[in-house]
Chains A and B, each alone.
Chain A
Amino acid sequence: MTEENTENDIPPSTRKLDIDGEAEIHIDGLDLWYGTKQALYDVSLPIAKNCVTSLIGPSGCGKSTLLRTINRMNDLIPICRYEGEIVQGETEITAKDADLVSIRKNIGMVFQRPNPFPKSIYDNVAYGVKLHHKPSREQLDSIVEKSLKRAAIWSEVSDRLHDLGTSLSGGQQQRLCIARSIAIEPDVILMDEPCSALDPIATAAIEELILELKKDFTVVIVTHSMSQAARVSDYTGFMYLGRMVEFNKTEKIFSDPDQELTKRYITGRFG
């Protein structure tokens, strides 16, 4: 299949973006290039407040790129540039003079591989808080305890808070990372394939946690596993070759997709 054929086969990014209730973040007409290679084509997406939005699609379709653009982690890649608009409430995230520090404070992120800092468990969680605030010792203690409890890891680590964060198991590390990002109480948590490096039991724990987090935070999750998207998310966006092919409620996507391409993907015919 040549390049032109593929281009012709795939539909343009969808504009059918209905959600119930309020949207936390609006992504509007986002184009993104790595050097001369275009990675995102005119992607638009609303992210519903206090819901889990999942992004699915084959490898290299731009899910992670889209996610990293939301809190502007892509700025770390020198050759990356983009056009379009991402708005969170009043703040325009993609503005040239945007305050990256407060954007990233409001939009937390959990990465593919668990990446606890080489500090104690306590310091891992307290790190973000201490960056932005001047808490007293008691306040910090209570924040750490609360965050670890919300990340459902408190019972496992409460007696060894001063051990190194890297000494935990993979699943515990990932939950520690989640605790770390919810300690500064962001509005949105972005999760970039949070379970891809974990075993099934740890995955189940994280998925349970995501459903729990939904009550307080807006969650965006990128995942390889369609069943995971079906289990945890309220809305699902299907991406293909840089286009947002279809976006809808999860049940709708997995039961009766509008696009032929989506149907082929979720039934496992390609990808």
Chain B
Amino acid sequence: MKEIDKLPVRNRKGREFIEKVGSGGLALTSIIGLVFLLILVYQIAKPTIIDGEEGEIVAATEFLPISDYILKWDNPSVDEDGNLISEPIILQLAWDDENGSYEHEIEITVIPQRNVKENIQLNENGVDTNEVTVGKKTKFYIYSTLSTPVSVHQISGPTPAANETGYPQVNTFVIQSDVSTVFSNGISIEEAIAVMSWSFLMVMILVYVFPNEKIIQSISSTSKNHQIIRWLSLAPFLFFILNEITVIRFFIVLNCFIGLRMLANLSEGIFRLSNQMMPLNDKILLKHSIVNRDGLMLWARLFFLVSTFFIPLSVHIPFLTERYQDIFQPYSSGIRSAFYGTFWVMGIAMFMAIPISIGAAIYLEEYAKPTRLTKLIQALITNLAGVPSIVFGLFGLAIFVREGGFGLGFGPSIFAAGLTMGVMAMPIIVLAAQEALRSVPRSIRESAYGIGCTRWQVTKDHVLPSAMPGMMTGTILAMSRIVGEAAPLLVVGAFGAVLFDPEPFAALTDGNINFTVIPIQIYAWTAEPGHEWHAMAAAASIALIAVMISMNSIAIILREYYRRRLNS
């Protein structure tokens, strides 16, 4: 009998019971976390499906403001042969002025083609026409030179932005999209070029993955001129100078650029192989002779995949890129101005934040001696990352927006908003970049110093390439965090209802500085009474979450890709 056994013993069954209850309770807590997410997703997804009798779109009836009024029908009212397939669309324009009251009826025919339009002119004598023919999904205007508002009342016919029945279909998703090919409305030169650039990129990817002997042979004839191709690959950017940037043009240029770059590197590789009298049909040899093959392939695949949604296909999400907010018809609103606003704000923020933060991170990790100043900077960065976003908003308000004092006086503009967001992103990016730099093994630095590199050479040639993926991941994650921030922009002065494309540099050129971003749009719509607006807020939330998740996935893909490459 041991001495300890004389002590009273704890009940084993009780201990087992506590074990079971405890582990069950802990499992329950993490299930609760999942349940929260499910409820959140369900509650956001639910209102974006238009339900039953409540989802009615009102007719195009409102007061015409002094200058002009935009109209647009989404669906044709006549078929290919010109026969009416629905009630005729008739608008009644009425106004009172000193000469008495006027009333005019206009019949509008919406034909299945796009981009056909006739504008309506209004003056003291009345309306210039009684019948107009416009294409579907095409904006046209009623211009007024009167000094009084005009009431526009739709008497009959399907309403704008509705489906064939004239009403939003029950159980349809608010963010409707239609997929067609780019040739659906006939071939234009630009679309032909677009498809060519897309196919060129596809061919280059195929050649890289399955190097065919014949193709390699034919490329080898140009292999001496690889330097010329390399310079040529910059040529597509001239396209930007000649033309306004659209999504399709953006992808044309990038596809061509990456494709040509791939071609240049391939022919350089072939050139090198043939100089050394190596056989061209050895796939592995070829693979290793191409400079930066992995990186090019990653970017090429990424752009190929993304551009597929725009070039051979053409995915139209009117909610995202075509419709402005429609003050009178919630269900036909969109977030076009908010979408572009977000794009520009993020662009300016990153343009400002990335160089400075990466520079600061490199300084702190590679150059700084542990002086009191460095420690102070480090402590400030760590704590700035946790300062509430609205405080950054106040900073932006006083420094960038306001004039006088320290204020730079950009006004409540995209430029000021972008700078504010950049300041907010800085500490986050610095911390991520420092983490990335810290994870570069000491041995790399030491071996580089060992062969006599200067500090800047070590940093530029050895440390940065290894740390780059971590920095990129951190930057993208910082972006995805600030893309959802509404508070600072609210303080800076983002506007709830903006019915035009924002001008990014309006603050510098004295243009119209008003802008909005997606989170602000959600906020404005949530604050509106009426569940239609809440449906639109939910739809915008889905768009925002989709943007964030896609950013995060890019970050994760990059991280995994580079991690695999560094390990191999």
Mutual binders A and B: yes
Neighbouring B residues of A101 by C-beta, 8 Å = 12, 15
- A232 on interface, CB distance cutoff 8 Å: no
With CB as the reference atom, state the residue of chain A lying closest to B4: A185
Quote the shortest CB–CB distance from A101 to chain B (angstroms): 7
Q: Which of A106-138 contact B (CB under 8 A)?
A: 129, 131-135
Neighbouring A residues of B4 by C-beta, 8 Å = 129, 133, 143, 183-185
Neighbouring B residues of A135 by C-beta, 8 Å = 7-8
Give Cα A133 to B2, complex, Å.
13
B1-45 vs A, Cβ < 8 Å mask (1 yes, 0 no): 011110111101001000000000000000000000000000000
Neighbouring A residues of B12 by C-beta, 8 Å = 101
Neighbouring B residues of A143 by C-beta, 8 Å = 4
Quote the shortest CB–CB distance from A257 to chain B (angstroms): 38
With CB as the reference atom, state the residue of chain B lying closest to A147: B4
With CB as the reference atom, state the residue of chain A lying closest to B11: A134
Would you call B15 and A133 a contact (CB within 8 A)?
no
Neighbouring B residues of A184 by C-beta, 8 Å = 4
Neighbouring A residues of B9 by C-beta, 8 Å = 132-134
Give Cα A251 to B86, complex, Å.
107
Quote the shortest CB–CB distance from B262 to chain A (angstroms): 42
- A139 on interface, CB distance cutoff 8 Å: yes
A180-219 vs B, Cβ < 8 Å mask (1 yes, 0 no): 0001110000000000000000000000000000000000
Give the residue among B4, B5, B7 with the most A Cβ atoms within 10 A.
Answer: B4
Would you call B10 and A133 a contact (CB within 8 A)?
yes
With CB as the reference atom, state the residue of chain A lying closest to B19: A101
Neighbouring A residues of B8 by C-beta, 8 Å = 133-135
A88-119 vs B, Cβ < 8 Å mask (1 yes, 0 no): 00000000000001000000000000000000
Interface residues on A, range: 10 to 19
Give Cα A101 to B3, complex, Å.
19
Q: Which of A134-165 contact B (CB under 8 A)?
A: 134-135, 139, 143
Give Cα A135 to B12, complex, Å.
16
Would you call A134 and B3 a contact (CB within 8 A)?
no
Would you call A131 and B7 a contact (CB within 8 A)?
no
Give Cα A134 to B15, complex, Å.
13
Quote the shortest CB–CB distance from B481 to chain A (angstroms): 34
Give Cα A101 to B11, complex, Å.
12
Q: Which of B40-79 contact A (CB under 8 A)?
A: none
Would you call A139 and B7 a contact (CB within 8 A)?
yes
Quote the shortest CB–CB distance from B19 to chain A (angstroms): 9
Give Cα A184 to B5, complex, Å.
9
With CB as the reference atom, state the residue of chain A lying closest to B12: A101
Give Cα A139 to B4, complex, Å.
10
Give Cα A80 to B3, complex, Å.
36
Neighbouring B residues of A129 by C-beta, 8 Å = 4, 7
Quote the shortest CB–CB distance from A190 to chain B (angstroms): 18
Give Cα A238 to B324, complex, Å.
81
Give Cα A129 to B7, complex, Å.
10
Quote the shortest CB–CB distance from B16 to chain A (angstroms): 9
Neighbouring A residues of B2 by C-beta, 8 Å = 185
Give Cα A73 to B46, complex, Å.
50
Give Cα A131 to B4, complex, Å.
12
Give Cα A7 to B26, complex, Å.
47
Neighbouring B residues of A134 by C-beta, 8 Å = 7-10
Neighbouring A residues of B7 by C-beta, 8 Å = 129, 133-135, 139
Would you call A185 and B3 a contact (CB within 8 A)?
yes
Give Cα A51 to B5, complex, Å.
23
Give Cα A129 to B8, complex, Å.
11
With CB as the reference atom, state the residue of chain B lying closest to A105: B4
Quote the shortest CB–CB distance from B362 to chain A (angstroms): 37
Would you call A131 and B10 a contact (CB within 8 A)?
yes
Give Cα A143 to B7, complex, Å.
11
Give the residue among B2, B7, B10 with the most A Cβ atoms within 10 A.
Answer: B7
Give Cα A80 to B407, complex, Å.
66
Neighbouring B residues of A139 by C-beta, 8 Å = 7
Give Cα A246 to B329, complex, Å.
89
Neighbouring A residues of B10 by C-beta, 8 Å = 131-134
Give the residue among A131, A133, A135, A183 with the most B Cβ atoms within 10 A.
Answer: A133
Give Cα A133 to B15, complex, Å.
11
Give Cα A184 to B10, complex, Å.
13
Quote the shortest CB–CB distance from B181 to chain A (angstroms): 51
With CB as the reference atom, state the residue of chain A lying closest to B9: A133
Give Cα A133 to B12, complex, Å.
10
Q: Which of A22-78 contact B (CB under 8 A)?
A: none
With CB as the reference atom, state the residue of chain B lying closest to A135: B7
Quote the shortest CB–CB distance from A97 to chain B (angstroms): 13
Neighbouring A residues of B15 by C-beta, 8 Å = 101
Neighbouring A residues of B3 by C-beta, 8 Å = 185
Give Cα A185 to B1, complex, Å.
11
Give Cα A101 to B9, complex, Å.
13
Quote the shortest CB–CB distance from A60 to chain B (angstroms): 24
Give Cα A184 to B4, complex, Å.
7
Give Cα A183 to B3, complex, Å.
10
With CB as the reference atom, state the residue of chain B lying closest to A102: B12
Quote the shortest CB–CB distance from B252 to chain A (angstroms): 52
Give Cα A49 to B30, complex, Å.
47
Neighbouring B residues of A185 by C-beta, 8 Å = 2-5
Give Cα A132 to B15, complex, Å.
9
With CB as the reference atom, state the residue of chain A lying closest to B8: A134
Give Cα A191 to B319, complex, Å.
69
Give Cα A143 to B2, complex, Å.
12
Give Cα A134 to B12, complex, Å.
12
With CB as the reference atom, state the residue of chain B lying closest to A146: B3
Give Cα A143 to B4, complex, Å.
8
Q: Which of B287-334 contact A (CB under 8 A)?
A: none
Neighbouring B residues of A133 by C-beta, 8 Å = 4, 7-10
Quote the shortest CB–CB distance from B8 to chain A (angstroms): 5
Quote the shortest CB–CB distance from B341 to chain A (angstroms): 51
With CB as the reference atom, state the residue of chain B lying closest to A183: B4
Quote the shortest CB–CB distance from A110 to chain B (angstroms): 18
Give Cα A181 to B8, complex, Å.
19
Give Cα A129 to B2, complex, Å.
13
Give 6 closest A-B pairs by Cβ, nearest first: A133-B7, A185-B4, A134-B8, A185-B2, A135-B7, A133-B9
17 A–B pairs (Cβ distance < 8 Å), ordered by A: A101-B15, A129-B4, A129-B7, A132-B9, A132-B10, A133-B7, A133-B8, A133-B10, A134-B7, A134-B8, A134-B9, A135-B8, A139-B7, A143-B4, A183-B4, A185-B2, A185-B3
Known A132-B10, A183-B4, A184-B4; further 9 A-B contacts with Cβ < 8 A:
A101-B12, A129-B4, A133-B10, A134-B8, A135-B7, A135-B8, A139-B7, A185-B3, A185-B5
